[in-house]
Amino acid sequence: MDSMFFPGIALTQYNQRVLNFLEIQARLPEYFLERTIIFGTQKTEHSTLLRMALSVLESKKMKTRYVREDDLLSGNEEVYTGQKYDVIALDGLFQRPINEYSQDDKEKLHRFLNVHQHAHLWLTTTLDIETVFSKIFINLIDEGISWSRNFLGCRPVFMNDEGNSQKYLEEVEKHINAGSLDYRLIQTKEFLNKEIKPYLDGLAAHLNLFTEEDVHRQLRQGNDNQNNVLTVTLDGKVKLIPREEYQGGGAVRLESFGAGNGYVGPDVPKHEASQSYAMLLYGYYLYLTSNVHEQYIDVEPSESVEELLKQILMIRK
């Protein structure tokens, strides 16, 4: 099955993390752009993904620059153009065996990475993890400075993450345990331990809000032999509470679910959760904009879930 956001890229359990991470950056770059390095053995595939993500940014009027390493080293691309870009992509970093890079090649790469050290860089590479953390590679360009900025300063994601995140994490922890004081090691460790959710769930997680799956879980855990109320707390947590125990005070609630109607219980279909999720989000948005508790919602909103999450994001900015 192809990714819905990146058509032509087959979605698998091993590339879902990188696709989720790039999608949320491309959809909401004003909030989520991060320096990123994409590891993969199939250069064509991760190059295609990179170009797709850049195209989305360009459709949002963001200025991007795409550079192939071959063109940079051959002189067909300038190291620095004098222009400001929202994202600069270097495709194919260290795609050749390390011993094939001349001193001139190393100097060009050093200048490029150094000049753009504070930019939002997106990099792709076919390097394996063992090479990345080898001493010869760390000291290849400038005694490890560019290595730290780009292999630790960029968020590492993998086209085939069949254990690669764990391997990368283990290498990072070796450096930490050896007494390295590089703060980027801690940042990389935190990123690798962080779950990267699909776009809408990821946006909700960023806002520390309930997700559609949270709503579905609450409904499935409910007891259909009693009346129930689905509510959201002031801090954005969804709860299903027996009607006789409900005392109010939350941000939003839906109409009570009558006992024996199948609104709650293990067989509740996901589309029921989707409807409730949209209504709860709308109510929570109204609560945030009015500061009035107990928003009572009994109709579906005209806005999409994405639109509501974006509006909440703007409030929380």
Q: Which domains does the chain have, with CATH numbers?
A: 16-196 (3.40.50.300), 202-316 (no CATH)
Q: Give the helix/strand (H/E) hosting 179.
A: none
Give residue 144's pLDDT band: very low, low, confident or very high (50, 70, 90). low
The pLDDT score that the predictor gives to residue 37 is 97
Taking residues 302-311, report their average pLDDT: 96
- Count of CB atoms situated within 10 Å of the CB of 226: 15
pLDDT at position 143 is: 66
- Given a contact cutoff of 8 angstroms between Cβ atoms, the answer to whether 125 and 38 are in contact is yes
3-state DSSP assignment of residue 121: strand
Bridging pattern class, strands 36-39 and 121-125: parallel
Q: How confident is the model over 154-159, as a mean pLDDT?
A: 96
Mean pLDDT of 266-294: 95
Number of Cβ within 10 Å of residue 24's Cβ equals 24
Looking at residue 257, the DSSP 8-state letter turns out to be B
What pLDDT is recorded for position 180?
Answer: 86
User: Is the pLDDT score of 299 beyond 80?
Assistant: yes
Instruction: Please determine, for residue 316, whether its predicted confidence score (pLDDT) is greater than 70.
Output: yes
Q: Residues 177-229: pLDDT tens digits? A: 999 888 999 999 999 999 999 999 999 989 999 999 999 999 999 999 999 99
H or E segment and range at residue 269: none
* CA atoms lying within 13 Å on the CB side of residue 261: 9
Which whole number is the average pLDDT over 116-143? 90
Percentage of the chain modeled with pLDDT above 70: 99
DSSP designation for 247: -
Mean pLDDT throughout 112-125?
A: 93
pTM (2 d.p.):
0.89
Q: Is residue 243 predicted with pLDDT exceeding 90?
A: yes
Alpha-carbon span 293 to 282, nearest angstrom: 13
- pLDDT tens column, 1-37: 778 899 999 999 999 999 999 999 999 999 999 999 9
- Tokens 């595939």 belong to which residue? 45
Q: Give the strand order in the sheet containing 252-254.
A: 238-242, 228-232, 252-254, 295-297
d(CA 73, CA 112): 10
Which two tokens mark 84? Answer: 């400001």
Average pLDDT, the chain: 93
Q: How far is CA 291 from CA 16, 150, 234, 284, 286, in A?
A: 38, 44, 10, 10, 8
Mean pLDDT of the region 142-168 = 90
- The C-alpha atoms of residue 285 and residue 116 are separated, in whole angstroms, by 39
Interval 120-143 mean pLDDT: 89
pLDDT at 291: 94
